[in-house]
Amino acid sequence: MLTPDSLDTHEEVQAPTLVERVEMPPAREFVARYVRRAQPVILAGAARHWPARTRWEPQELARRFSDRAVPVVRSGQGGSLFDPWNGVNYAPMTVRAYVEAVAEHRSDLYMIFRVQDHLSELLDDIEVPDVCARAAWFRARFWFAIDGTAGPLHADLPHNLYAQVVGRKQFLLAHYRHTARVYPFPPWSGVPNYCRVDPERPDLTRFPRFAGVKLELATLEPGDMLYIPSLYWHQARALSDSASINLWWADGVLRRVVSVAEWFMKARGLNL
- pLDDT tens string 213-226: 999 999 999 999 99
> Does some domain include residue 82?
yes
> Does some domain include residue 1?
no
Cα 73 to Cα 80: distance, rounded to the nearest angstrom:
10
> Does some domain include residue 7?
no
What domain count does the chain have? 1
> Does some domain include residue 6?
no
Residue 78 identity: G
Dump pLDDT digits (tens) for 96-110.
Answer: 999 999 999 887 899
- CATH number, domain of 141, equals 2.60.120.650
Q: Which is more confident, 2 or 30? A: 30
Under the banding of pLDDT at 50, 70 and 90, the label for residue 12 is: confident
> Does some domain include residue 25?
yes
Dump pLDDT digits (tens) for 56-92.
Answer: 999 999 999 999 999 999 876 556 788 888 888 899 9
Cα 197 to Cα 183: distance, rounded to the nearest angstrom:
6
Percent of the chain topping pLDDT 90: 84
> Does some domain include residue 34?
yes
**Helix, strand, coil % in the chain, rounded to nearest 5:** 30, 30, 45
Name the nearest CA neighbour of 255 among 139, 165, 166, 152. Answer: 139
Range of 197's domain?
A: 17-268
Name the nearest CA neighbour of 254 among 218, 223, 229, 220. Answer: 229
Q: Which residues pair with 225 in a beta bridge?
A: 43, 163
For residue 29, with 0-12 CB atoms within 10 Å meaning exposed, 13-18 middle and 19 or more buried, which class applies? exposed
Average pLDDT, the chain: 93
> Does some domain include residue 4?
no
The DSSP output letter for 228 is: E
pTM strictly above 0.85: yes
Cβ atoms of residues 70 and 243 within 8 Å = no
Predicted pLDDT of residue 6: 53
> Does some domain include residue 11?
no
Under the banding of pLDDT at 50, 70 and 90, the label for residue 9 is: very low
